[in-house]
Amino acid sequence: MPLVNTKEMFEKAYKGGYAIGAFNVNNMEIVQAITEAAGALNSPVILQVSAGARKYANSRYLIHMVQAAIENFPDLPIALHLDHGSSFELCKACIDDGFSSVMIDGSALSYEENVAVTKAVCDYAHDVKARGRYITVEGELGKLAGIEDAVNVSEEDAQFTNPDEVLDFVTRTGVDSLAIAIGTSHGAYKFKPGQNPRLRLDILDEVSKRLPGFPIVLHGASSVPQEYVKMVNQYGGAMPDAIGIPEEQLREAAKRAVCKINIDSDIRLCMTGSIRKHFAEHPDHFDPRQYLTDARANIKDLVSHKIKDVLGSDNKA
């Protein structure tokens, strides 16, 4: 099947009490590992591309690699999504390039500015007559702490989503899904040692009371597997006290209104740990196919675990 948008995926996920994994892709091995895991488990999947990924890999390469994955897994629903689109122009460029879904991240703007830019993207993306297809749009309300290429929000500036704003925002913009801030954050250092890592599921419930049946998105949802933190540290890395979101809490969110769970840092960690270990154990290796084979296999295992044990999206394709 061709690329799909996220509409049907989210409708089924909401009703079924599970979530779709949205995994960031930056190179061929990552695209292969994610889609092989999703293919083997018959799971719908979202491949997402950030502005940083477009810059690193060149958007064309990523689009064609995703196209290759579709040819390899013709029965799998796969969406190609822009992660953290920072402007109307960037969203438009990705839509014009064939992406099936985009995020417009106006969370750093004032509420009214966020409404205006999100509505402009929705008007463009949803114009089926002009575009020939319906591109789904994700908006964001609330501010997550952490660092991405495009945004750097300090802990003091982070803000939980205000449930009293969500109905107005969704109604005025026409967004298809909404990312909210309930205690997740970007990167590998989400909590400090000794802190109780808890999501504000009460805010999620307040949001979904105001938006019954509406798909909610969680960014910054890596669990930072300690197995890979240890591997990085054991083999020459320095990632002290990297702590993520407990997987049981993500599973709980997936049973509720959360239909999309974003995971990037876990893949980075898995890839880095695997490569470091490979180098330490095989100092004579210098063929990238040797160490990238290990990394790709471990990412596939990691994504399989997420699909089966956290998202619950296996056999839902």
Residues in the site for ligand G3H, rule: CB under 6 A? 24, 50, 52-53, 83-84, 148-150, 186, 219, 264
Q: Which of 54, 81, 219, 306 touches Zn ion by CB under 5 A?
A: 219
What number of residues does the chain have? 317
Contact window for ligand 13P (CB under 6 A) among 5-13, 31-39, 219-227, 293-301: 219-227
Contact indicator for 207, 180 with CB cutoff of 8 Å: yes
Residue with smaller CB distance to ligand 13P, 29 or 83? 83
Residue with smaller CB distance to Zn ion, 219 or 316? 219
Closest approach of ligand 13P to the CB of residue 71, in Å: 26
Q: Which of 177, 222, 274, 313 touches ligand 13P by CB under 6 A?
A: 222
Residue with smaller CB distance to ligand G3H, 29 or 264? 264
* Residue 105 within binding range of ligand 13P, rule CB under 6 A: no
Closest approach of ligand 13P to the CB of residue 116, in Å: 22
Catalytic residue status for 83: yes
**Residues belonging to the active site:** 83
Return residues touching ligand 13P (CB under 6 A).
Answer: 24, 83-84, 186-187, 219-222, 262-266
Return residues touching Zn ion (CB under 5 A).
Answer: 219
